Chain A
Amino acid sequence: MKTFIEQTWGIIVKDVRQWARDRQALIGPMLIPLVLMLICTVLFGYGGDEWNIGLVVESQGVQAQRFAQTIENLSGNISPYFRIITRDPTEAKRLVEEGRLQMVITIPADFDQRLNAGEPPLIRTQLFNINTDMMKNVRLRLERAIQDFQVSQDSAPVVVEQFTTRPEDVWRRAFIAGGALIVALLVGASLNTAIMMAREWERNTSKELRLAPHALAAIVTGKIMAGLIAAATNVGVTLLVAVTLFGLNIPMDRWLPLLGIGFAVAVAAAGLGLGFGAWLRDYRTLQPLLLVTAAGSFFAAGGYGSVATLPPAVRTFDIFWPPAYVFEMMQSIMHMAVLPDLSNVFIALPLAAGLGVAFGAWMVRRAM
């Protein structure tokens, strides 16, 4: 037992030191979650739901002004829907032609006249139609403004009543930050452990490990522990950025289940990483494999949007894709109004962790 503890401790110390000294190797697993978080949140909704438009009101009529006000005041759960950049027709035309605005709305001079005559007014829009997604966003907002105007005129036979489970929406940036945190956990544990194992071949030190007497259990335990220490650092850095810059707010009562689940997931991922490291033994193969799979899973398995909101084929794929369960469970714990039912977790997670470690141990044994 004493030998095992000494061997394990020796491996942990060696691997953690090598990890801390090799800054270039350290940065890779840390970079991917930060890049995904930073770029995706800024690109896909850091500032909320606001859409920049030009609004030209050609009429001084009461109804036209009221409709302009409706457009200006229109807002979703987290922020206004429109930000009026200009009201000047010439500037608006120039900006939309340059692609600096995606839509200019013109409320015509005869707006009130037509409305009073019982005819539908004709709203003119000029669009920089770069792609269907952006156009859908901007068109649907205008439709909403028209619907709201109709409601304010008391002429809408059907209205929408909205109920939410949380008092306030979780901003998309906080949701994405949660996803990136899970990427940091998965990549941090799997890739760091894989690198620690592959390093023995890359630096020609595998012979010394092989010659150590009865060291398999110590190698597996030591490498996994060292991988977990590296993963904890990765997660710590990502968490700090997620909380301070991207508004990730995890309620106090959720930290304990998250820590427990995160630990089991990290052990499973480190076990897998250990196995891959012993099998492939080459940084050039390991890094693309684990980094790209983790970045891809972020988009497809619940890091960027919940699985329930993805297309049917993807939902089917995610049934068979284990990271999807990790993303779904941890995102739900972080954000849902009520703590989700975790009864299944107590069996599934220790099993997954055990299988991961068993795979790692088996591959190390084969490689040694």
Chain B
Amino acid sequence: MRKIFEPILALAWKDWLRFSRQPFLVVVSVVMPLVFIFFYSIIVPSSSTAPVVVALESDAPAAQRFLRTLREIHSQEGVYYEIVTTDPKQAHAAFDSGHAFGLIVIPANFETDLTSGKARVELHLHNINSDYSKNLRLRLDYAVRQFNDSQSEQAMQIEETTWLPHDPVMQDYISTSLLLFACLYSAMVNTGLQVASEWNDRTVKTLLLAPVSRSALIAGKVLTGLGQSLLSIALVILALVLGFHFHPIGSLWAMAGIMLVVMLLGAGIGAMAGVASKQTLAVASMLIALSVLIFLISGNEDSLHGLAWSGPIVVMWQLARILPTTYAFLAARSLLLTGDATTLARDLVVVLLTTVIVLAGAASLLRRAYSQLPGGQ
């Protein structure tokens, strides 16, 4: 047993020492997932609350009531509108200069027109992004409907039946994906770079000539990559819990378990890419792009599920279903977000099997790499 673990630990120790002697590389390795998470997380609140300027041209009670409706309409996550100003001059100036993309005008004659049942509010849009235009319009329609219902009898009632008792809030939904992204990114990039570095630093021949199995070498590199990733992932968890109020519903053991499996999978992919490419330059770009790609495709499978009925999104959904990483995200959502364990066993089996396959693939590629040493090595 000692014979097996000694070279693995020795290799990992050597790599950790070398890593710790490159302080800037340590900082970049630790901070980069956090940087991406910081930037990406920004788009989460942007979908719940839309900034808008309001030109309130009337002081009449009805206009004030409508403004109050605009301020109060909200989803589970927050208010629908962030009203930047209600001053007509400022609102028009902000819109005309392009600093605001949406302007709602509550006209001076709003109350008089309301008495005759013919009031109107204006929505002015710089329609350079259809999604934002749609968001502002739908919210205004909702505000108008709420206001109309308060003026006369309710037009219609809606009775909802839902899959989950409460809609999972977007921050928790995204946090689950971001946590897995951090595990995948760190394990993939760190392990991939550690493997490719042996070629870059021309030390691979010494490594391959050592009397240990290729699997032990891969295990050593995987251990290195996982060890290097721990600090980064700890920081990500801290950021998600403190910054995004992420509160997973499952136990901490479940969370640790799924993270470990995903990190192993990432390390396996990284090791395979590292042996296949043998160049740090290519491995870094390829794995960074791949981790973002996996995050966006696999991390959104359950959203794609309901949207993929025609067009290129169907292809993307099919791709998501083929990617084994998708099942890691699905398992994580089951464990940490929805508590629905219907497909959990299947998801975990797919992820574990893939992990074994990629690790075996990396060891096999390394076996072949021995006969492909470039000149000078």
Q: Which residues of A contact B (CB under 8 A)?
A: 22, 24-25, 27-29, 31-32, 35-36, 39-40, 42-49, 51-52, 76-78, 83, 85, 96-97, 99-102, 118, 120-136, 140-144, 146-147, 149-150, 155-166, 168-172, 175, 195, 202, 280, 282-285, 287-289, 291-293, 295-300, 304-306, 308-312, 314-315, 331-332, 335-337, 340
Contact of A130 with B306 in the complex, beta carbons under 8 Å: yes
CA distance A304 to B132 in the complex (A): 11
Indicate if B130 sits at the interface (CB-CB under 8 A): yes
**Which 4 residue pairs across A and B have the least CB separation, nearest first?**
A28-B285, A296-B39, A24-B282, A335-B128
Map CB proximity to A onto B262-287 as digits: 1 under 8 Å, 0 otherwise. 00000000000000010111101110
Contact of B134 with A306 in the complex, beta carbons under 8 Å: no
Contact of A132 with B167 in the complex, beta carbons under 8 Å: yes
Contact of A131 with B303 in the complex, beta carbons under 8 Å: yes
Map CB proximity to A onto B73-116 as digits: 1 under 8 Å, 0 otherwise. 00111000010000000000000001111000000000000100
Contact of B156 with A163 in the complex, beta carbons under 8 Å: no
CA distance A265 to B127 in the complex (A): 26
Contact of B296 with A40 in the complex, beta carbons under 8 Å: yes
Task: Tell me which residues across on chain B come within 8 A of A285, comparing CB atoms.
Answer: 22, 24-25, 28
Q: Given A162-B123, A296-B40, A311-B45: A282 and B25 within 8 A (CB)? A: yes
Name the residue in B45, B76, B157, B281 with the highest tally of chain A Cβ atoms < 10 Å from its Cβ: B281
Contact of B42 with A102 in the complex, beta carbons under 8 Å: no
CA distance A288 to B288 in the complex (A): 7
Partner of B316, one of A43, A146, A166: A43
Instruction: Count residues of chain B with CB under 8 A from any CB of chain A.
Output: 109
Task: Tell me which residues across on chain A come within 8 A of B76, comparing CB atoms.
Answer: 132
Indicate if B341 sits at the interface (CB-CB under 8 A): no
Indicate if B58 sits at the interface (CB-CB under 8 A): no
CA distance A232 to B377 in the complex (A): 36
Contact of A27 with B125 in the complex, beta carbons under 8 Å: no
Partner of A24, one of B128, B159, B200, B279: B279
CA distance A163 to B123 in the complex (A): 6
Contact of A52 with B155 in the complex, beta carbons under 8 Å: no
- Excluding A141-B138, A284-B25, 10 further A-B contacts by CB distance (< 8 Å) are A28-B281, A48-B130, A76-B130, A77-B133, A130-B303, A143-B142, A146-B145, A158-B114, A175-B129, A306-B129
Q: Given A146-B155, A308-B100: A140 and B142 within 8 A (CB)? A: yes
Contact of B155 with A150 in the complex, beta carbons under 8 Å: yes
Indicate if B121 sits at the interface (CB-CB under 8 A): yes
Within 8 A of A (CB), among B1-33: 22, 24-25, 28-29, 32
Task: Tell me which residues across on chain A come within 8 A of B313, comparing CB atoms.
Answer: 42-43, 46-47
| Sample (30) of A-B pairs whose CB atoms are under 8 Å apart | A24-B281, A28-B284, A35-B289, A35-B292, A35-B296, A36-B292, A39-B293, A76-B130, A77-B130, A127-B163, A129-B164, A129-B168, A130-B173, A132-B170, A156-B148, A157-B114, A158-B148, A160-B141, A161-B120, A162-B122, A166-B126, A169-B129, A284-B280, A285-B22, A287-B281, A289-B32, A293-B35, A296-B40, A300-B39, A305-B129
Contact of B42 with A158 in the complex, beta carbons under 8 Å: no
Contact of B144 with A158 in the complex, beta carbons under 8 Å: yes
Contact of B29 with A288 in the complex, beta carbons under 8 Å: yes
Map CB proximity to A onto B287-302 as digits: 1 under 8 Å, 0 otherwise. 0110011001100101
Task: Tell me which residues across on chain B come within 8 A of A83, comparing CB atoms.
Answer: 309
Task: Tell me which residues across on chain B come within 8 A of A171, comparing CB atoms.
Answer: 130
Indicate if B36 sits at the interface (CB-CB under 8 A): yes
Task: Tell me which residues across on chain A come within 8 A of B43, comparing CB atoms.
Answer: 299-300, 304-305, 310
Map CB proximity to A onto B160-191 as digits: 1 under 8 Å, 0 otherwise. 11111011111001000000000000000100
Partner of A28, one of B114, B156, B282: B282
Segment of B48-56, B208-216, B251-259, B354-362 in the binding face? B48-56
Task: Tell me which residues across on chain B come within 8 A of A306, comparing CB atoms.
Answer: 101, 128-129, 132
Contact of B126 with A336 in the complex, beta carbons under 8 Å: yes
Contact of B162 with A129 in the complex, beta carbons under 8 Å: yes
Name the residue in A76, A168, A285 with the highest tally of chain B Cβ atoms < 10 Å from its Cβ: A285
Contact of B40 with A133 in the complex, beta carbons under 8 Å: no
Partner of B137, one of A76, A172, A295, A332: A76
Partner of A284, one of B126, B140, B284, B289: B284
Task: Tell me which residues across on chain A come within 8 A of B309, comparing CB atoms.
Answer: 52, 83, 85
Contact of A99 with B305 in the complex, beta carbons under 8 Å: yes
Partner of A288, one of B124, B189, B277: B189
